[in-house]
Structure 1
Amino acid sequence: MIRIIALTEQGLLLANKLVNEDLVDGRVWFKPQPFKKQVQEAFLKGERLIFICATGIVVRTLAPVLQSKFRDPPVLVMDEQGEFIIPLLSGHEGGANDWAEALSGKLHSKCVITTAKPYTKPVYTVGMGCERNCPLDYLESLFLDCLSQANLTIDQIDSIHSISIKANEVNLIHLCEKLQKPFITWDALSLRKVEPLLDSRSDYVFSVVGVYGVAESAALYGAQQLKGTTPELMLKKQKNSKATCAIARSFSATR
């Protein structure tokens, strides 16, 4: 969920433009009341936020509910004219920097990144799990929804990963062929190496396949193998009635 929060009539015009011109797949929130309570609750639910207002208002509103750069959802701040976009929270870790740069390109505006320049290039991997004989449309719709939530394109995804018992899952294979992405599977022992990095854990899943979560584990381990650095979840496990999906990334130094 993306909420675009506007506090003035001019800001509302920009918010509606973002939605109506399909620049942001989100919902406009005009002067939500009670403001602090509504915004804080949305933030704690993990909703991505775009504020069209003064940065100070955002800082004072969200300061009491900040947790960590690894858990807070990304937050952008824009001026009423849409000339500047600031990734205020979760710049590197939550993807706010990438999100702000992508949106600034669509608006032809200036992206003001204040975090330290990392000199790194991210690689993105998708992890997927599913019921046996899961229909293709369940897999594809979930995959595309996760890309949208993470503000990524298919071209930015390096590969799709799963657990080895899914190596012959017909529609996972078909999905990867359709998307022209490598499909790579890993055994449970390997996937358990990234267990400390998981956002969610299921004892039931562990009892069945030997890991606490297929999608997150596969995405994280795949990213680690590609770059050899500590991976991180960019999008925690999402699910529908038949499949799960998560997105991870790792970085490689560039010169």
Structure 2
Amino acid sequence: MKGQYAVVAITKHGVEIARKLGVRLPSSDVYYMNKFAKGDEEEKGIQLFEGSVRLLLPSLFSSYRGLILIISLGAVVRMIAPLLKDKKTDPAVVVIDDKAEHVISVLSGHLGGANELTREVAAILQARPVITTASDVQKTIPVDLFGRRFGWVWESEENLTPVSAAVVNEEKVAIVQESGEKDWWHYDTPLPSNIQVYSSIDEALKDKPAAALIVTHRILSDREKEILKNGVLYRPKVIVLGIGCNRGTSASEIEAVIQETLHELSFSIKSVKALCTIDLKKDEQGLIEVANKYGWEFVYYSPEELNSVELELPSETVFRYTGAYGVSEPAAKLYSGAKQLEVVKKKSGNVTISVALIRY
């Protein structure tokens, strides 16, 4: 298993479709019955199996992000029924007919990404995508997927269902976006008339919407939280942390400084995208542990790259030890592209931190 998706075929025509997808669909592993072997399977990384596909599915179901099955829809429904657990954890399941005329989103359309995968596979095969999810059919915002392709995360999933209902039932829905990628509307039609974009939470509250989608890296004030009574708060990945530290600084100390600094700024730790430093620290265990714990990108730059950035607070002392006139400040600027930082440079114990925002 190397990829995110398993493509499974059990017929002669299905094998040809599967092989085509194996070449054209990134991160896919192909499986088909050994009686259809062509002799190049080992070279191409194709897996052969014997016996009933029903015996293979449980392991694939638990191992892959998505299954693309070139098997009849009825048979697939019967085979996956005993495997279903929860829409948050079940993989995407997509079914293709034996002539590759239709690609059908069967399971985990939104959270599991089956609808997106269906469109991608249909485009490769020049087939018709079949999607039945209301928000997709109506060409409106899928609340549980809003911003997901950019890495946005929910603050809480509590209101996903009622807010989704407000969207598809054409009730008044407010969107307030303070940060994050702007090109989230991907349909070739205008935003539905029941959805209105407001410049601020205060403006949206005055209009008394039935539901709201709020996109920000900020911690909301108690007054602003009124909008979340029937709203979903999304955290875009826009915060960049530049970090310098003494050799051997513990992960707990680094994490504490990060948390304290973000709290002072009223920024959410869920909006952090990357932790950046100098290449001398690429093996610094404390930094690596913190980045891994939160799933942040861990990025490091050479002294030459860091010195290419204009600094507000250059340091001769840092230069003597590292060859760079700064670490945290230029690292944050390099990654974010920001000219001005939210925190230029703050020294706390063994840690120096700078904070930048990515502006879209």
- Taking structure 1 as the reference length, the TM-score comes to 0.52
Which residue is 1:125 aligned to? 150
In our comparison, the structure showing a higher alpha carbon Rg is 2
Shift of 1:167: 2.8
Moved over 6 A (4+): none
Shift of 1:45: 2.0
Distance 1:4 1:209, change over 3 A: closer
* Secondary structure class of the residue paired with 1:82: coil
Distance 1:29 1:188, change over 3 A: farther
The whole-number CA distance in structure 2 between the counterparts of 1:192 and 1:5 is 40
* Secondary structure class of the residue paired with 2:109: coil
* Matched AA of 1:27: D
Which residue is 1:28 aligned to? 30
The whole-number CA distance in structure 2 between the counterparts of 1:193 and 1:161 is 7
The whole-number CA distance in structure 1 between the counterparts of 2:98 and 2:81 is 23
The whole-number CA distance in structure 2 between the counterparts of 1:77 and 1:101 is 12
The whole-number CA distance in structure 2 between the counterparts of 1:113 and 1:209 is 40
Paired residue for 1:75, among 73, 89, 93? 93
Shift of 1:163: 6.3
The whole-number CA distance in structure 1 between the counterparts of 2:53 and 2:124 is 29
The whole-number CA distance in structure 2 between the counterparts of 1:114 and 1:7 is 26
Paired residue for 1:45, among 26, 41, 63? 63
Task: Say yes or no: does 1:6 pair with 2:9.
Answer: yes
Residue identity (%): 29
* Secondary structure class of the residue paired with 1:161: coil
* Matched AA of 1:125: F
Judge conservation of contact 1:162–1:214 (CA < 8 Å) in 2: no
Task: Say yes or no: does 1:105 pair with 2:123.
Answer: yes
Deviations along 1:90-126, one digit per CA (max 9) or x if unpaired, are: 1011111111112212222100002222511632334
Which residue is 1:215 aligned to? 296
The whole-number CA distance in structure 2 between the counterparts of 1:41 and 1:4 is 13
* Matched AA of 1:107: L
* Secondary structure class of the residue paired with 1:30: strand
Paired residue for 1:167, among 242, 250, 257? 242
* Secondary structure class of the residue paired with 1:72: coil
Distance 1:84 1:24, change over 3 A: farther
Deviations along 1:134-172, one digit per CA (max 9) or x if unpaired, are: xxxxxxxxxxxxxxxxxxxxx98xx983765x3358xxx
* Matched AA of 1:62: I
Which residue is 2:109 aligned to? 91
The whole-number CA distance in structure 2 between the counterparts of 1:26 and 1:210 is 28
* Secondary structure class of the residue paired with 1:81: coil
* Matched AA of 2:32: F
Judge conservation of contact 1:87–1:100 (CA < 8 Å) in 2: yes
Distance 1:160 1:167, change over 3 A: farther
Distance 1:210 1:83, change over 3 A: closer
Distance 1:126 1:13, change over 3 A: same
Judge conservation of contact 2:10–2:32 (CA < 8 Å) in 1: yes
Distance 1:47 1:36, change over 3 A: farther
Name the structure, 1 or 2, with higher relative contact order (CA <8 Å, separation 6+).
1
* Secondary structure class of the residue paired with 1:120: coil
Deviations along 1:22-46, one digit per CA (max 9) or x if unpaired, are: 2454222113445223211111123
The whole-number CA distance in structure 1 between the counterparts of 2:291 and 2:114 is 34
* Matched AA of 1:8: T
Judge conservation of contact 2:237–2:270 (CA < 8 Å) in 1: no
Shift of 1:210: 11
Superposition CA RMSD, Å: 3.7
* Matched AA of 2:87: K
The whole-number CA distance in structure 1 between the counterparts of 2:141 and 2:111 is 13
Shift of 1:81: 1.1
Which residue is 1:178 aligned to? none
Give the total of aligned pairs: 160
The runs of 5 or more residues in structure 1 that have no matched partner are 128-154, 170-184, 195-203, 217-255
Distance 1:38 1:58, change over 3 A: same
The whole-number CA distance in structure 2 between the counterparts of 1:214 and 1:92 is 22
The runs of 5 or more residues in structure 2 that have no matched partner are 34-48, 153-182, 185-234, 245-257, 272-284, 298-360
* Secondary structure class of the residue paired with 1:69: coil
Judge conservation of contact 2:21–2:124 (CA < 8 Å) in 1: no
